[in-house]
Amino acid sequence: MKTLMASKLTFLCILLFLFSLSKGNDTIKHLQGCKRGSKVQGLHEVKLYLARFGYLNYQRTHDHVNPLQNNEFDEELEAAVKDYQSFYHLNATGTLDGPTISQMLMPRCGQPDKENSHNHETKLLHTVSHYQFFQNRPRWPQSKSHLTYAFASNYPNNYVPPVVSAFNKWASETRYFTFTRVNSVTSADLKISWERGDHGDGYPFPPGTPIVAHAFAPTDGRFHYNADQNWFIGARPNFNDVETVALHEIGHLLGLGHSQFERAIMWSYIPSGAVKGLDSDDIQGIQALYGLNK
């Protein structure tokens, strides 16, 4: 019972952190230069961020106080910062330097990067230096290489074509999956919707969150855009390209986790104004997951 309550408290803290970003992206900028031994107001927000994306998992408590709630730069936080820096090819000093803070403030996908038992979303399994799979390698059965997709009634019609284009690109590059658009969201394998705030899947989009979208591993099929982000078709400063995000989230729908290769579409951060396509790392991941390279 105590473990369950602690897990719920951790999840609540993480949601509160995401909500705190609604105050603006300056919430952690003042922490630049903090390192082990520091005690600065706001360090708990970095802890919650790293826990949210799979880097920090406290195994001990301090006098029955959740360590995620304090502002102490302890040994566990230093290790988590180093792990985060290594994953994103930053200088792994364990110090919150400028590049690390800047990376954390970038728009990104809501799926975690690494396995974390305190995280309630699907866990990831590291397989090679670049692409990753979800834990237990969930995938679509061989009988489901043809998948149907549908748009919910709340999805804007003007943003349908770039998602259709994204599906076509995955089909063309994998030469394994094919996709057909259908009208019924209920019967479709993949369900795309336009959501904001608490939208009923347990992973809300609080105001100001850096999360632009999230999607679930096979065979769940749900793909949610964050309607409160700035969207555009193509490259435009301070806007997110609809198709680029679709390419990334479709990768999750097919079973890919986040890649450590920045050029890959499965790199978790999607800078605003950027347009990306599929990379060989993405295709190699699908080939490995579905045994297509044998």
Q: Judge if 19 and 100 occupy the same domain.
A: yes
DSSP assignment string, 68-81? GGS-B--HHHHHHH
C-alpha 76, offset from chain centre: 22
Would residue 219 count as lying in a domain? yes
- Pick from 59-63, 206-210, 251-255, 257-261 the range whose average pLDDT is largest: 251-255
With 0-12 / 13-18 / 19 or more C-beta atoms within 10 angstroms meaning exposed / middle / buried, residue 26 is exposed
Do the domain assignments include residue 238? yes
In this structure, the answer to whether residues 89 and 157 fall within a common structural domain is no
Are both 85 and 160 inside the same structural domain?
A: no
- Annotated active-site residue 243? The verdict is no
Output 198 or 10, whichever has higher pLDDT.
198
User: Does residue 205 have a pLDDT over 50?
Assistant: yes
CA 133 to chain centre: 13
| C-alpha span between 67 and 51 (Å, rounded) | 11
Beta-carbon contacts of residue 200 (< 8 Å; ≥ 6 apart): none
Mean pLDDT, rounded, for 194-208: 92
Q: What is the mean pLDDT of residues 224-232?
A: 97
pLDDT at 16 over 50: no
Is it the case that residue 47 has pLDDT exceeding 70? yes
Given 40, 70, 105, which residue is the final one in a domain? 105
78 and 137 belong to one structural domain: no
Residues 130 and 101 in one domain: no
pLDDT the model gives residue 9: 36
pLDDT at 26: 56
Domain contains 146: yes
The per-residue pLDDT for range 177-194, each reduced to its tens digit, is 999 999 999 999 999 999
Please state, in angstroms and rounded to a whole number, the distance separating the CA atoms of residues 42 and 229: 24
Residue 285: pLDDT above 50?
Answer: yes
283 vs 279: CA distance, rounded Å: 7
Structural domain contains residue 93: yes
Query: What does the pLDDT read at residue 248?
Result: 97
**Helix residue ranges, H only, 88-180:** 98-104, 160-174
- One domain for residues 155 and 234: yes
pLDDT of residue 155: 98
Q: Give me the count of residues in the chain.
A: 294
Is the residue at 73 inside a domain?
Answer: yes
Q: How far apart are the first and last CA of the chain?
A: 47
What is the number of other CB atoms lying within 10 angstroms of the CB of residue 107? 22
Is residue 111 domain-resident?
no
Identity of the amino acid at 228:
D
| Residue 167 counted as domain residue | yes
**What pLDDT band is residue 30 in, cutting at 50, 70 and 90?**
very high
Q: Considering only CA atoms, which of 91, 112, 100 is closest in space to residue 29?
A: 100
Going by C-alpha positions, the residue among 275, 219, 227 that lies closest to residue 252 is 219
103 burial class (0-12, 13-18, 19+ CB within 10 angstroms)? middle
Q: Tell whether 117 is covered by a domain.
A: no
Q: What is the pLDDT of residues 83-139, one digit of tens each?
A: 999 999 999 999 999 999 999 999 999 889 987 643 334 445 544 448 999 989 999
**No. of helices (H) and no. of strands (E), the chain:** 7, 10
If one compares 100 and 64, the residue with the highest pLDDT of the two is 100
What is the identity of the amino acid at 57?
N
Domain limit, last residue, from 71, 105, 139: 105
Residues 195 and 280 in one domain: yes
Domain at 212, CATH number: 3.40.390.10
Same domain? For 170 and 206 the reply is yes
Same domain for 205 and 273: yes
Condensed to tens digits (0 to 9), the pLDDT of residues 263-277 reads 999 999 988 899 999
Residue in 38, 41, 19 with CA at minimum distance from that of residue 30? 41
CA dihedral (119, 123, 125, 131) in degrees, to 10, reads -100
Residue 144 shares a structural domain with residue 238: yes
Average pLDDT of span 41-45 = 92
pLDDT grade, residue 13 (50/70/90)?
A: very low
- The pLDDT value recorded for residue 27 is 75
State mean pLDDT over 228-242: 96
Instruction: Report d(CA 25, CA 30) in Å as an integer.
Output: 11
pLDDT digits (tens, 9 = 90+) for 139-155: 999 999 999 999 999 99
* Residue 27: CATH number of its domain: 1.10.101.10
Cis peptide before 61 (omega within 30 of 0): no
DSSP 266: T
User: Which of 105, 137, 172 finishes a domain?
Assistant: 105
Question: Of these residues, 72, 173, 249, 262, which one is catalytic?
Answer: 249
Q: How sure is the predictor about 208, in pLDDT bands with cuts at 50, 70 and 90?
A: confident
Tell me, yes or no, whether 22 and 70 share the same domain: yes
- Provide the residue range defining the domain that includes 93: 2-105
For residues 270 and 185, state if they share a domain: yes
Number of structural domains found in the chain? 2
The overall average pLDDT reported for the chain is 86
